[in-house]
Structure 1
Amino acid sequence: MASYNRTRRISEEIKKIIGQMLINGIKDPRITSMVSVTDVEVTNDLRYAFVYVSLLGGNEEESLVGLKSSAGFIRREVGKKIKLRYIPEIMFKVDDSIERGMYMDNLIRKVNEENSSKVEENEDEADE
């Protein structure tokens, strides 16, 4: 349990640091998308940090390449701000949960519209 809490705290701290770096510190011209860090998962042995990012607008693939090429710089900066024996290797992954959520929302909305139109048709038939 203590190990889980420690990795969770480290994950949250890395998320804050990388979020600030995306606002202020990374000047890679390939990163044209609006990038936000949605989650960070650190392995139990603290060797890897999987950084989930949401990329909106711009060239998403090129932005991801820019982030991956900046991983060494980001890792070094994280190491300056967090005192750990071993600084996790930063691995970027695209988080598509926002798009999946919007897709599911549209499906639910469509089903609700179909159901409400069927209910109205049944009420009209019952009135006759």
Structure 2
Amino acid sequence: MSSFRIDKVASMIKEELSLIFLHKIQDPSLSLITITSVKLSPDLKLSKVYLSVYEKEKREEVLTKVNELKGWIRTQLAGRIRVRFVPELEFFIDDTLDYVEKIETIFKKIHESDNKEND
């Protein structure tokens, strides 16, 4: 399968999942979630969905709740997209922003130490 098709289906799934989380899920603990990316297997049967959760301390709780709703979410997705087979959904926490924060902190420390040496 061409990577263009895979990317297009992944983008469509990401957009529809975002709308499902925004409009269909009424749980307030799942309100501050962002779908950051969707990665599809080459056969389009497995979809890895990466979530960004605003409140870091609630990540595991949110992931557990989302996994409990996985079947319902997949059913909602099936009604919104036109593909022969709706992929299985696997949800993961996207911790990319944690790495960005860590690197920014390191840069700040380096910059501060450089300023102290120059004084």
- The structural deviation recorded for 1:59 is 2.4
Amino acid at match of 2:6: T
State the percentage of identical aligned residues: 25
| Matched position secondary structure for 2:82 | coil
8 Å Cα contact 1:33/1:55 also seen in 2: no
Q: d(CA) in 2 for partners of 1:24 and 1:81?
A: 13
TM-score normalised by length of structure 1 = 0.85
TM-score normalised by length of structure 2 = 0.90
Q: d(CA) in 2 for partners of 1:93 and 1:75?
A: 15
Q: d(CA) in 2 for partners of 1:12 and 1:110?
A: 38
- The structural deviation recorded for 1:109 is 1.0
- List alignment gaps of at least 5 residues for structure 2: none
- Flag the structure with larger Rg: 1
Q: Show the counterpart of 2:76.
A: 77
Amino acid at match of 1:56: Y
| Matched position secondary structure for 1:81 | coil
RMSD: 1.6
8 Å Cα contact 2:22/2:31 also seen in 1: no
Show the 5 A alignment for 1:20-99: 20-28=19-27, 31-32=29-30, 34-57=32-55, 59-99=58-98
Instruction: Tell me whether 1:104 sits opposite 2:103 in the alignment.
Output: yes
| Matched position secondary structure for 1:117 | helix
Q: Which has the higher contact order (CA 8 A, sep 6+)?
A: 2
Q: d(CA) in 1 for partners of 2:110 and 2:94?
A: 26
8 Å Cα contact 2:36/2:94 also seen in 1: yes
The structure 1 segments of at least 4 consecutive aligned residues displaced by more than 6 Å after TM superposition are none
- The structural deviation recorded for 1:70 is 1.1
- List alignment gaps of at least 5 residues for structure 1: 121-128
